[in-house]
Amino acid sequence: MRTLLIAGNWKLNPTTAEAASALAEGVKHGLGAATDVHVAVAPPFVFLSQVDRVLEGSPVGLSGQDLYWENAGAFTGEISGPMLVDVGCTHVILGHSERRHGQGETSAQVNAKLKAALAAKLIPIVCIGETKDERLAEKTEAVLLDQLQGSLADLSPEEMAGVVLAYEPVWAIGTGLTASPEQAQSAHAFIRGWLSRTFGEATAGRVVVQYGGSVKPDNAVELLGLPDVDGALVGGASLKAADFLAIIKAGQEVAARGKS
């Protein structure tokens, strides 16, 4: 079984460095030295250095929420892969729906960022997923195929093995709605099948594919127990240490019992 990855995307939260440090301290203290499930948090850029200091000595990884595809230059407001590494990051989230749909980010841009992340030795978490209208029009697989092909273009099997994917149905992000176990497993199985056809079964068997979209303590065990779900990209529930830790505990329960 692939090691589950539970990552918390804090988005534009919290509003102060003090609150960010307190949240990170709560996660670090509650998790302890446990390593049976991989864990990472993604604070806003301005809090990365401080959160890195708080997490020192813990197994919790630190993630950026985005990066730019150039390492340096006249790109006002952007953050590069080497900058993220310098402040302690191990991961970076790319292609989140709030950037794809809210800021017009294309799969070609995600692909450029992905290659920059890999060059910087970061673990990229590449997000894909369909909107409500696309789901209702039964276009889920077509949308996923388009995003997979565009976002992961020109990668070798070796490079792909170091990429994490996050299936996040856009209609379930921040809405309180969650894909049913059948919907989540179907999408994840489709993704796994495409990976197998494109990169080979061995690589497909190594790639971690998370689920994201209103993951909460009360649905985490069921979602994380699905055969092709390898973790969770958690939004709102990652802003309360107790809730995030409960989701991690759910992952630990799944890891301990294994999957059927």
- Is there a contact between 40 and 8 (Cβ–Cβ < 8 Å)? yes
Find the catalytic residue in 38, 91, 96, 188.
96
The four Cα atoms 119, 98, 170, 137 give a dihedral, to 10 degrees, of: -100
Dist CA 20 CA 27 (whole Å): 11
- Averaged confidence pLDDT in the chain: 96
Q: What pLDDT is attached to residue 132?
A: 92
Dist CA 84 CA 184 (whole Å): 31
- Identify the sign of the CA torsion 63, 68, 69, 70: negative
Percent above pLDDT 90 for the chain:
93
Residue 168 bears catalytic tag: yes
- Is there a contact between 203 and 161 (Cβ–Cβ < 8 Å)? yes
Query: Per the confidence metrics, is the pTM higher than 0.75?
Result: yes
pLDDT digits (tens, 9 = 90+) for 39-91: 999 999 999 999 999 999 999 999 999 999 999 999 999 999 999 999 999 99
Judge whether residue 157 has pLDDT over 90: yes
Q: What are 192's two structure tokens?
A: 């796994």
More confident residue, 259 or 109: 109
Find the catalytic residue in 105, 130, 134, 168.
168
Cβ neighbour number for residue 176 with a 10 Å cutoff = 9
- Identify the sign of the CA torsion 104, 132, 67, 154: negative
- β strands within 106-220, DSSP E: 123-128, 164-167, 209-212
Q: What pLDDT is attached to residue 33?
A: 87
pLDDT confidence band for 16 (50 / 70 / 90):
very high
pLDDT confidence band for 260 (50 / 70 / 90):
low
- Is there a contact between 249 and 218 (Cβ–Cβ < 8 Å)? no
pLDDT digits (tens, 9 = 90+) for 1-11: 799 999 999 99
Strand, coil or helix: 11:
coil
